[in-house]
C-alpha cells in the first residue's frame, strides 16, 4: 500500500476523520467498509488517504476537478426541482475500481496529473454558487465518499448560506461516515450497481451489503433518495437484475422512490463491449412498473419514451425531459398533478424569474468571439470552460441553434476578473444543431465533449480534437464470463 508521490497534488495533506490509531504505528481508516490498515508512509486502496507520522491524513482536501454548472438531471435526480441548475463538484480517487468507470481518469488517483487538479476553499465554492444564482451543490463524479472532510466543511457552510446539498455516490461507505453526512446532505442519488454479490466483487471490487445498509439508513431519516442502476450490456441488463433491484427498492425503501435504469457505454476496462440496447432498458422499466414502482426512468438516452413524468392517477404529463433538460408542464407548486390533484411525489423549490433577457441588444456582442459546436452521434452535451483573463468583469453569452436557422434567446454568464468557470450545454430537442457561445477575445476557452451524464471529461477538443466515434465503437463482445476473467487479470496486473 505504499506509493511514491509523483505529482504536486500528492505532497501536502490534511488531517482525516474516522481514524483509529493502532499500537504499531499503523492507522485504520473507517471511512469506507474496506477499513484499510495503513502503515507509516503508505496509502489506502483509494490512494488519497494515508498514514503520515502515525496519523490518518487525506491528500485531496480542497483538491478536485474543475467546478461545473450543470442541471439536476445530470445526477439522476428527477423528483427534486426538475431543471434546476446545480454546481457539480468532483474530486480525486475512489474507494471502488469499477471496470466500466467513465470517470476513471480522476477516480483512479494514479492517472491524475497536476493539470487535472484545481484548488478550492469551502468559502470559494459557496461564494461561486451564490454569485451564479445556483441553489444546489452536487457532490459527484468520481465519488464523494473519499472527499469526506472537505464535503463536511463546505456543505455546512453552504447550508448556513441557504444552499442545498446533493450527494451522488456509489455509497460504498461506513455507517459512521453516513452519520456525519446526515446533518448536512439533503438529497442522495445512490447508484446501486446490482443486488448480486458476485457482480459487486468482480466488477466493482466492493461488496453490496454496506451499500444497501447505508441506502436504507439515509432513506429512513427522511432524506430525498433516488436510486439508479447501470445496466451493463450482457452483465447486468437482464430481467433478473431489474426484478431484484425493483423488489429491493419496494420492500426495503418505498415504492415511490424514483428508480433509474441507466444506459452503459463501453469505457476503461470494459471498452470491449457495446452500449446497452434501449429495448433492454425499456424492458427493465416495464418489470419495475409491474412490481408496482410508479416512478421509473431510463437514463443516458435522448428523445426516447421513459424519461418523462406522468401522473400515475390520470396520465397527465407532469414533466417533459430531453436528455439533461427538463420542463415542468403539469405540476403545481406543491408537486401535485394540476389536472387531478394527485400527489406526484415531487419536491419543488420556490419559482424564480426567467433569466432570459427578452430585450437583448445585439451590440452587447460587439467585440466578442463566436464559438460553435455541432452535436454529433452520441455527443449531445458539452462542457464549456472559460477563463476571464481581464482585470474587469467579463460576460459570456450562449444560446442554442436549430435546424431551420432559428436560435434560442441568449443567456448571460458573468465572470469575475481571473475567474475560471465551466458550464454544461445539453441538446434540448431533436432539431437542435448545437450551441453557440460568445466569449471576450481576451478570455481563454475550452470545449469538452461529455459522454453520458455525470461524466467529467478531462481533455478538451483543443487538446484531442472532436471525437470521431459518433456512436460508441461496437466491437465484438466477449461474453459475461470472459469479461469477469478479463477484469480479474487486469486487477492482478495493477
Strands 55-58 and 14-15: antiparallel
CB of 35 to ligand SF4, least distance (A): 5
* Rounded Cα–Cα distance for residues 454 and 265 (Å): 13
* Rounded Cα–Cα distance for residues 161 and 105 (Å): 33
CB of 29 to ligand SF4, least distance (A): 3
Give the nearer residue to ligand SF4 in terms of CB position, either 44 or 99: 44
Output the residue with the shortest Cβ distance to ligand SF4: 44
Q: How far apart are the first and last CA of the chain?
A: 12
Grid cell, residue 225, equals 433518495
CB of 42 to ligand SF4, least distance (A): 10
Grid cell, residue 467, equals 471525437
CB of 151 to ligand SF4, least distance (A): 13
* Rounded Cα–Cα distance for residues 398 and 409 (Å): 8
Block residue for cell numbers 503508505: 42
Block residue for cell numbers 490498515: 37
CB of 199 to ligand SF4, least distance (A): 20
Complete DSSP assignment for 281-293 = HHHHHHHHHHTT-
Alpha-carbon dihedral sign for residues 44, 32, 211, 162: negative
Q: Under a CB-based contact definition with an 8 Å cutoff, are residues 272 and 228 in contact?
A: no
CB of 154 to ligand SF4, least distance (A): 18
Go through 146-177 and write b for each residue having 16 or more CB atoms within 10 A of its CB, e for each that does not.
Answer: bbbbbbbbbbebbbeeebbbbbbbbbbbbeeb
CB of 149 to ligand SF4, least distance (A): 11
* Rounded Cα–Cα distance for residues 297 and 379 (Å): 21
Give the nearer residue to ligand SF4 in terms of CB position, either 20 or 369: 20
Grid cell, residue 450, equals 461529455
Helix (H) or strand (E) run with residue 411 in it: strand 411-415
Give the nearer residue to ligand SF4 in terms of CB position, either 44 or 306: 44
Angle between helices 239-248 and 278-290 (to 10 degrees): 40
Helix (H) or strand (E) run with residue 421 in it: strand 420-426
Grid cell, residue 232, equals 451493463
Give the nearer residue to ligand SF4 in terms of CB position, either 49 or 448: 49
CB of 44 to ligand SF4, least distance (A): 2
CB of 292 to ligand SF4, least distance (A): 36
3 state SS of 319: strand
Per CB under 6 A, residues contacting ligand SF4 are 29, 31-32, 34-36, 44-46, 49, 95, 146
* Rounded Cα–Cα distance for residues 70 and 134 (Å): 10
Give the nearer residue to ligand SF4 in terms of CB position, either 174 or 276: 174
Q: Which of 192, 170, 166, 191 is nearest to 181 (CA)?
A: 166
* Rounded Cα–Cα distance for residues 63 and 249 (Å): 35
Give the nearer residue to ligand SF4 in terms of CB position, either 31 or 387: 31
Give the nearer residue to ligand SF4 in terms of CB position, either 95 or 380: 95
Give the nearer residue to ligand SF4 in terms of CB position, either 147 or 322: 147
* Rounded Cα–Cα distance for residues 16 and 150 (Å): 10
CB of 30 to ligand SF4, least distance (A): 7
3 state SS of 452: coil
Give the nearer residue to ligand SF4 in terms of CB position, either 47 or 453: 47
3 state SS of 325: strand
Give the nearer residue to ligand SF4 in terms of CB position, either 95 or 163: 95
* Rounded Cα–Cα distance for residues 407 and 330 (Å): 26
Give the nearer residue to ligand SF4 in terms of CB position, either 18 or 218: 18
* Rounded Cα–Cα distance for residues 223 and 298 (Å): 22
Give the nearer residue to ligand SF4 in terms of CB position, either 49 or 345: 49
CB of 90 to ligand SF4, least distance (A): 16
CB of 32 to ligand SF4, least distance (A): 3
Amino acid at each position: 500500500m505504499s506509493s511514491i508521490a509523483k505529482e504536486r497534488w500528492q505532497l501536502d495533506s490534511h488531517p482525516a476523520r474516522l481514524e483509529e490509531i493502532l499500537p504499531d504505528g499503523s492507522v485504520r481508516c473507517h471511512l469506507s467498509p474496506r477499513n484499510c490498515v495503513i502503515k507509516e508512509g503508505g496509502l489506502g486502496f483509494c490512494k488519497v488517504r494515508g498514514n503520515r507520522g502515525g496519523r490518518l491524513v487525506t491528500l485531496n482536501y480542497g483538491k478536485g476537478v474543475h467546478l461545473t454548472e450543470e442541471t439536476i438531471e445530470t445526477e439522476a435526480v428527477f423528483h427534486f426541482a426538475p431543471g434546476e441548475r446545480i454546481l457539480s463538484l468532483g474530486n480525486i480517487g475512489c474507494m471502488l475500481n469499477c471496470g466500466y468507470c467513465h470517470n476513471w481518469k480522476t477516480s483512479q488517483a494514479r492517472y491524475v496529473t497536476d493539470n487535472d487538479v484545481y484548488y478550492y476553499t469551502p468559502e470559494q465554492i459557496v461564494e461561486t454558487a451564490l454569485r451564479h444564482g445556483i441553489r444546489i451543490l452536487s457532490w459527484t463524479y468520481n465519488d464523494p465518499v473519499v472527499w469526506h472532510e472537505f464535503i463536511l466543511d463546505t456543505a455546512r457552510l453552504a447550508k448556513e448560506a441557504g444552499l442545498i446539498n446533493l450527494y451522488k455516490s456509489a455509497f460504498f461507505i461506513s455507517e459512521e461516515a453516513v452519520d456525519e453526512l446526515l446533518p448536512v446532505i439533503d438529497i442522495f442519488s445512490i447508484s446501486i450497481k446490482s443486488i448480486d454479490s458476485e457482480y459487486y466483487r468482480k466488477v466493482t471490487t466492493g461488496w453490496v451489503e454496506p451499500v444497501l445498509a447505508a441506502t436504507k439508513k439515509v432513506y429512513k431519516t427522511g432524506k430525498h433518495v433516488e436510486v439508479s442502476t447501470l445496466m451493463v450490456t450482457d452483465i447486468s441488463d437482464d430481467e433478473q437484475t431489474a426484478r431484484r433491484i425493483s423488489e429491493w427498492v419496494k420492500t426495503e425503501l418505498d415504492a415511490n422512490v424514483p428508480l433509474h435504469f441507466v444506459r452503459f457505454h463501453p469505457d476503461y476496462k470494459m471498452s470491449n463491449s457495446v452500449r446497452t440496447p434501449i429495448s433492454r432498458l425499456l424492458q427493465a422499466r416495464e418489470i419495475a412498473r409491474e412490481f408496482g414502482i410508479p416512478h421509473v426512468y431510463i437514463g443516458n438516452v435522448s428523445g426516447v419514451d421513459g424519461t418523462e413524468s406522468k401522473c400515475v392517477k390520470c396520465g397527465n404529463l407532469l414533466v417533459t425531459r430531453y436528455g439533461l433538460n427538463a420542463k415542468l408542464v403539469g405540476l403545481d407548486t406543491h408537486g401535485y398533478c394540476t389536472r387531478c390533484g394527485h400527489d406526484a411525489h415531487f419536491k419543488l423549490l420556490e419559482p424564480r424569474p426567467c433569466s432570459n433577457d427578452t430585450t437583448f441588444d445585439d451590440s452587447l456582442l460587439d467585440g466578442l468571439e463566436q464559438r460553435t459546436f455541432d452535436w454529433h452521434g452520441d455527443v449531445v452535451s458539452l462542457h464549456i470552460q472559460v477563463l476571464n483573463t481581464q482585470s474587469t468583469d467579463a460576460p459570456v453569452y450562449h444560446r442554442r441553434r436549430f435546424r431551420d436557422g432559428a436560435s434560442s434567446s441568449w443567456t448571460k454568464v458573468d465572470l469575475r476578473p481571473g475567474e475560471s468557470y465551466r458550464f454544461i450545454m445539453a441538446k434540448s430537442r431533436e432539431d437542435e444543431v448545437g450551441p453557440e457561445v460568445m466569449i471576450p477575445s481576451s478570455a481563454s476557452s475550452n470545449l469538452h465533449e461529455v459522454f453520458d451524464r455525470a461524466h467529467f471529461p478531462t481533455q478538451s477538443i483543443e487538446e484531442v480534437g472532436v471525437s470521431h466515434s459518433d456512436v460508441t465503437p461496437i466491437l465484438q463482445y466477449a461474453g459475461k464470463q470472459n469479461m469477469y476473467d478479463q477484469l480479474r487479470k487486469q486487477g492482478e496486473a495493477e
